[in-house]
Homo-oligomer: A and B are copies of this chain.
Amino acid sequence: MIRLLLADDQALVRGALAALLDLEGDLQVVAEVSRGDEVVSAAVQNAVDVALLDVEMPGADGIVATAALRSARPSCRVLIVTTFGRPGYLRRAMEAGASGFVVKDTPARQLAEAVRRVHAGLRVLDPGLAEESLVSGASPLTARETEVLRAARGGDTVADVAATLHLSEGTVRNHLSAAIGKTGARNRAEAVRLAEDRGWLL
């Protein structure tokens, strides 16, 4: 009997996935959480074998949760189940110690099999996404550049970003200019979109 943990901020999806996986005879959902920072304690308390984590969650994202879980309970494997197949997500997830990465587009029948493979110590990767991850590569943005770009998300002006980050306006413009150049965008907004699509803003 493989003991599972589900982490997803959408209660309906969580419950539905639980129903789907409980149909399998050898799988059993023993814990459900809605926040990333509740993963570790729930996994430890319930002696979880495989954790299915979403990437975008309140509290802590799936990548951080993966790293924390792997160090707190090394016997527990992690399978990322996420909406967005962003190349950067896959890369970071694997670096954090995840054993598999599945997008929510995949057929429902394959999920149970993916769980079993992960539990057996094998890796599960979306082949197309893995290729894309290799092509787009790691993020070329420096720490400050991503931070500024992330702060500029949502349409804040340069003055706002400078205020929230305690920087000079000129510095913010410089970092943004560098980010625009590196992403190949012609705009701040386009740079935000491209960086987000590639999973560089986390």
Contacts and interface: CB of A to CB of B under 8 A. Distances in A.
Interface of A: 9-20, 23, 81, 83, 102-109, 111, 154-157, 185-193
A12 B191 contact: no
Contact of A20 (B9, B15, B104, B156): B15
B155 A15 contact: no
Contacts of A106: 11-12
Contact of A186 (B10, B23, B157): B157
Contact of A155 (B12, B105, B193): B193
A104 B157 contact: no
B11 A155 contact: no
Most buried by B among A12, A83, A103: A12
A156 B19 CA distance: 43
Given A16-B16, A20-B16, A109-B15, A10 B188 contact: no
Contacts of A109: 15
Contacts of A192: 155
B187 A105 contact: no
Given A20-B16, A20-B20, A155 B188 contact: yes
A155 B108 contact: no
A187 B20 contact: no
10 contacts: A10-B104, A11-B106, A12-B106, A12-B107, A15-B107, A19-B19, A19-B20, A154-B189, A155-B190, A157-B186
Nearest to A109: B15
Nearest to A108: B15
Contacts of A11: 104-108
A193 B187 CA distance: 16
A118 to B, nearest CB: 15
A187 to B, nearest CB: 4
Given A20-B20, A156-B190, A193-B154, A13 B15 contact: no
Contacts of A185: 155
